[in-house]
């Protein structure tokens, strides 16, 4: 019996693997895009300022990211609609306008930081940003407008391989494994406004609104339905966990090199900090990771806005369409790319820009997550796939915690204590 069962089991496992690979993509791409230029530099700044002490925060944030991304992917699979369309249908016109407006404002700033990240990465690799950014603009626009979903997804997955540079940098930096274990497993909070502000920035760059809007829309664009959702859930959960593992490696690498020295002032400073541990290859290693992260997010961020707004007004939206078939969708995408690239070429402090953008995301995120939570709780939207009692409690705690921290930072800024 065992001789017959083994050959039968192998084809079954192979079919399952092939089915998963056919579905995989939206969750992994959305989560990896969260490790964008802003994410890389915010995580590096966390390691530089507070060494390993934010690692426990990242563990909690990872749990919240898994919960949030899973809800968004489930909404897309079971309703066949993205978040923009669902918010339009389930809430008032005013609420829909507020949600989409907040997303667009947040994404506009992030698109600037992605192109700034491309410029900074290429300068680390010896190419002027005034050459690199315009070329990146043309290439990214062409690949998206003249491509299709499956081709774009394959390119995005290849770009995700650049994140392997950060685990390599962390290992080569010879970090203190005892401190890492302690700070991963137990809270090591610093009682300061700077620490609280950075925690909200970490939340803003990890649980970023564009990731939620993108994953739901990408699931719809890929035509993933309830039958395929179990495989997509694996893709989404694994993507969230793996992306945050990379985030932690960025913190560890920088903490091992310059932990406790204060905030970073430039991408070059972040790269050069690794030289004692990694050697002269540090700027190249850091630059490759930053370039891959920035290119991936420079596509995903404006796409999420285009998806959401096109859904909100009921217009055509798919990267598999032509410009003529989806003029609003591709028009919005084009405008965001051009403006983002143009502003990114202006002089300024990249680290300050991207950390402030993540802080803005941290303030906007709880508002948009509230819409997601309400939608995922409604049986009128998801039927039997709506959040169960336990999941509802966990999701509510995650959203409420993010909202409380964002409110605390807002109050501190208003009172002038930040």
Q: What is the pLDDT of residue 172?
A: 78
Domain 2-414, CATH 1.20.1740 — does that match?
Answer: yes
How far is Cα 129 from Cα 124, in angstroms, rounded to an integer? 10
Residue 12 scores a pLDDT above 50: yes
Q: Write the secondary structure of 77-113 as one string of H (helix), E (strand) and C (coil).
A: HHHCCCHHHHHHHHCCHHHHHHHHHHHHHHHHHHHHH
Which sign, positive or negative, has the C-alpha torsion 118, 123, 129, 134? negative
Q: What is the pLDDT of residue 169?
A: 75
Long-range contacts, 411-417 (Cβ 8 Å, 24+)? 412/193, 412/196, 412/197, 417/193
Average of pLDDT values for 155-176?
Answer: 71
Phi, psi for 222 (deg, rounded to 5): -85, 0
Residue 269's Cβ-count burial label (10 Å; 0-12, 13-18, 19+) is: middle
User: pLDDT grade, residue 23 (50/70/90)?
Assistant: very low
Q: What is the pLDDT of residue 312?
A: 78
Instruction: Please tell me the pTM assigned to this model.
Output: 0.75
Residue 327 scores a pLDDT above 60: yes
Residue 156 scores a pLDDT above 70: no
Percent of the chain with pLDDT over 90: 8
Residue 153 scores a pLDDT above 70: no
Lowest mean pLDDT among 54-58, 126-130, 274-278: 274-278
User: pLDDT grade, residue 78 (50/70/90)?
Assistant: very high
> What mean pLDDT value characterizes the chain?
78
User: Tens digit of pLDDT for each residue in 203-252?
Assistant: 877 887 888 888 888 888 788 888 888 888 888 888 888 888 888 988 89
How far is Cα 157 from Cα 218, in angstroms, rounded to an integer? 14
| Whole-number Cα distances in Å, 69 to 43, 170, 237, 328, 388 | 20, 27, 7, 26, 16
How far is Cα 67 from Cα 49, in angstroms, rounded to an integer? 29
Q: Write the secondary structure of 270-298 as one string of H (helix), E (strand) and C (coil).
A: HHHCCHHHHCCCHHHHHHHHHHHHHHHHH
Contact between 106 and 303 under an 8 Å Cβ cutoff? The reply is no
Residue ranges of the domains in the chain?
2-414
Residue 83 scores a pLDDT above 80: yes
């Amino acid at each position: 019996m065992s001789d017959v069962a083994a050959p039968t089991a192998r084809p079954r496992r192979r079919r399952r693997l092939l089915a998963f690979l056919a579905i995989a993509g939206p969750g992994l791409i959305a989560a990896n895009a969260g490790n964008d230029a802003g994410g890389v530099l915010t995580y590096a700044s966390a390691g530089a300022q507070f060494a390993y002490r934010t690692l426990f925060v990242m563990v909690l944030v990872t749990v919240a990211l898994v919960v949030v991304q899973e809800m968004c992917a489930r909404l897309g699979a079971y309703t066949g609609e993205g978040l923009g369309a669902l918010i339009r249908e389930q809430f008032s016109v005013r609420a829909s306008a507020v949600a989409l407006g907040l997303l667009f404002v947040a994404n506009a700033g992030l698109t600037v930081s992605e192109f700034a990240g491309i410029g900074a990465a290429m300068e680390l690799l010896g190419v002027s940003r005034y050459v690199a950014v315009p070329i990146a603009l043309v290439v990214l626009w062409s690949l998206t407008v003249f491509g299709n979903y499956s081709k774009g997804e394959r390119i995005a997955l290849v770009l995700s391989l650049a994140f392997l540079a950060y685990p390599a940098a962390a290992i080569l930096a010879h970090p203190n494994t005892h401190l890492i274990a302690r700070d991963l497993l137990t809270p090591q909070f610093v009682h300061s406004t700077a620490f609280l502000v950075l925690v909200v920035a970490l939340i803003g760059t990890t649980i970023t609104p564009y990731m939620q809007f993108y994953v739901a829309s990408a699931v719809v664009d890929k035509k993933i339905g309830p039958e395929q959702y179990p495989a997509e859930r694996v893709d989404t959960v694994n993507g969230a966990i793996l992306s945050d593992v990379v985030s932690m490696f960025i913190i560890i690498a920088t903490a091992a090199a310059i932990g406790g020295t204060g905030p970073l002032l430039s991408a070059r400073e972040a790269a050069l900090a690794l030289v004692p541990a990694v050697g002269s290859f540090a700027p190249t290693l850091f630059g490759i990771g930053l370039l891959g992260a920035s290119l991936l997010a420079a596509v995903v961020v404006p796409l999420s806005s285009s998806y959401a707004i096109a859904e909100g007004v009921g217009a055509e939206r798919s990267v598999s369409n032509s410009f003529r078939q989806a003029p609003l969708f591709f028009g919005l995408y084009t405008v965001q790319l051009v403006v983002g690239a143009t502003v990114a070429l202006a002089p300024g402090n990249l680290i300050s820009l991207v950390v402030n953008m993540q802080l803005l995301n941290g303030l906007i995120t709880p508002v948009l997550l509230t819409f997601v939570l309400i939608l995922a709780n409604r049986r009128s939207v998801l039927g039997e796939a709506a959040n169960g009692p336990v999941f509802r409690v966990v999701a509510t705690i995650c959203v409420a915690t993010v909202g409380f921290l964002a409110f605390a930072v807002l109050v501190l800024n208003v009172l002038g204590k930040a």
